[in-house]
A and B are shown apart, each in its own frame.
Chain A
């Protein structure tokens, strides 16, 4: 019997096979740190008199607590400032590379790794952050870890782990115009539920996935966590190699050839058996939005807010009732009639250059709905620079959006960018939990295209709902 891609990656990183129920010891190729989950890990090293074993496989950046305005001033919130300062001093003390605020490679950790070419196929990647699954888009085993595990990796560059189960998610058919990777993953989560992936590594397969760009694949793998999975991955192919090539840390010359030769072997064998298989047809996929308070509570944009009374499963029904109350929604309201206060474009799900381009192409030449606030937060400082070089910043600013500096921003209420109680957002991020974007805030998860169209109309909308002709690509150079 053949093996799946996830199993191959596991085998290739096996340092010690666990006996008698003990876990396997797995080697870690890349360890990324941010300010929230690393301080106690470094402190643990210090207390035990240990060093970072492989500084050359470790990298740090600041993202969760950082403000996206006035980044040249000290961080106003004391707790945030202490966390960021602690990361800086730990990096200095242990000799770990850090990209701090103001640096071109500062930004959301999951945007920074791929942009530097540090994420590539065939690796194991960890970070004290659940959305580490993003890096699985390259055909790597990438997953989030807790603070003691962060310390463990810093000290040993390995992790004791029990093997995961494998699930194939086959997405076939052709994705219709106007639908995106975000809609695919929201539809998958709505289908299998937020616990559906528990204990599994998901492998996204099928022709619709193969046609996606790398950045779109990252959007999909990013939200594997919202389906409850530990990780998600996509077998590498020419699209992947093309994306990695020429990046600062990409291999060159003979090493590049050796790498590509190995990467080309990274696929699930024809006769491999997955523990579970899920099918999704992309050809009838509409833009998806969430109406509730977990990412599984999503529907096509043309639908209406569901009626909890019609939900058979008791738990789901109660959850739906609670969600509607929190969200301030009435059953039966067409989703397209829901008025939005704030549009947030950013995060490690949809804060990359393609996302900004897609949104800019929708809003260009159009007017923002009056009274609506739109925040555009590039995933990294480099994405911001690139967007400015392409003139996208001008498109956003002329439209009336706020053009900000890189960071997690309004993806979570940990920095100054927060929703106010009962404020309603259309957000390209990944979690719509109660209070995630600020206490009492109400979040609808959407794709960048829907976010942009919503900013024009003021209610949840897709570009197809805009009355005038679909505009051409951005022409701002």
Chain B
């Protein structure tokens, strides 16, 4: 995870509240086996509409999303965060977020800042009156700046520290590498290992006995 101190990028005003994770990324995209390459899936249903904000040239390269309240509600899918990040967003600002979405964001290095509703309104006006204008988000000072307008945002101290240090859960745990190694050194010898693989020898089973029905024959289902 990269360290996050400040970020400057094009602001995108998304005047919608209750953007749930189904809208951020529809369920059909969940069948994929990758963790990247979800940029096309972001807001997939809305992007079919040419008036949608991300279809407008000025906002296409946006990296700071300014959204309405209750962003990220619904299912706990981590894909929502992956999609936002893959598209290029580094920051989402809203007056309220769903808890699980916020937790997932913090773990993946996407900054979610809570901004007072009147300041969100102000940011929307600024971004709409001058499409493509940049916003600067300082995690250090917990401020959002757009032109001459500056306001504050809230973020959990622990999450802020992690983002600024660029630490994901795994890196944090790996800071305890010595403790893990020491623990491993004193594990009991009887504890099982999967390698080398041990397995019972294949049993000599007579494959099929003479029975009328072949294995898996389709038996008609009764209709009701």
Contacts and interface: CB of A to CB of B under 8 A. Distances in A.
Interface of A: 15-16, 25, 27, 29-30, 39-40, 43-44, 47-48, 50, 55-59, 68-69, 79, 82-83, 86, 97, 104-105, 116-118, 120, 123, 146-148, 151-152, 155-158, 160, 248-251, 255-256, 258-259, 262, 339, 341-342, 371-374, 382, 385-386, 388-389, 391, 393-394, 397-398, 400, 402-404, 420, 422-424
Nearest to A44: B35
Nearest to A246: B200
A44 B221 CA distance: 44
Interface of B: 31, 33-36, 76, 78, 104, 107, 169-170, 172-174, 176, 179-180, 183-184, 187-195, 197-200, 202-203, 205-206, 209, 211-213, 215-222, 224
A239 B58 CA distance: 70
Given A391-B209, A394-B209, A156 B221 contact: no
A156 B34 contact: no
Contacts of A374: 219
Contacts of B198: 116, 248-249
A404 B173 contact: no
Contacts, number: 161
A43 B33 contact: yes
A107 to B, nearest CB: 12
Nearest to B206: A388
A371 B76 CA distance: 42
Nearest to A262: B188
Nearest to B108: A148
A27 B183 CA distance: 8
B173 A120 contact: no
Contacts of A373: 219-222
A255 B189 contact: yes
A44 B179 CA distance: 24
Those 5 A-B pairs whose CB atoms lie nearest each other, nearest first: A371-B222, A39-B33, A259-B190, A251-B190, A248-B198
A43 B211 CA distance: 47
Given A123-B191, A151-B170, A259-B188, 12 more contacts: A29-B191, A30-B194, A48-B170, A56-B195, A158-B176, A255-B189, A255-B190, A341-B222, A389-B203, A402-B215, A422-B224, A424-B224
A29 B209 CA distance: 42
A43 B35 contact: yes
Contacts of A69: 216
23 contacts: A30-B192, A56-B194, A57-B193, A82-B33, A104-B202, A118-B192, A146-B78, A148-B78, A148-B104, A148-B107, A155-B173, A160-B173, A249-B192, A251-B189, A251-B190, A342-B221, A374-B219, A382-B200, A389-B205, A397-B215, A398-B212, A402-B217, A422-B224
A120 B205 contact: no
A54 to B, nearest CB: 8
Nearest to B168: A48
A386 B170 CA distance: 42
B52 to A, nearest CB: 27
A420 B221 contact: yes
Contact of B35 (A40, A50, A59): A40
B180 A158 contact: yes
B31 A79 contact: yes
Nearest to A159: B173
B180 A157 contact: yes
A371 B220 contact: yes
A397 B191 contact: no
Contacts of A43: 33-36
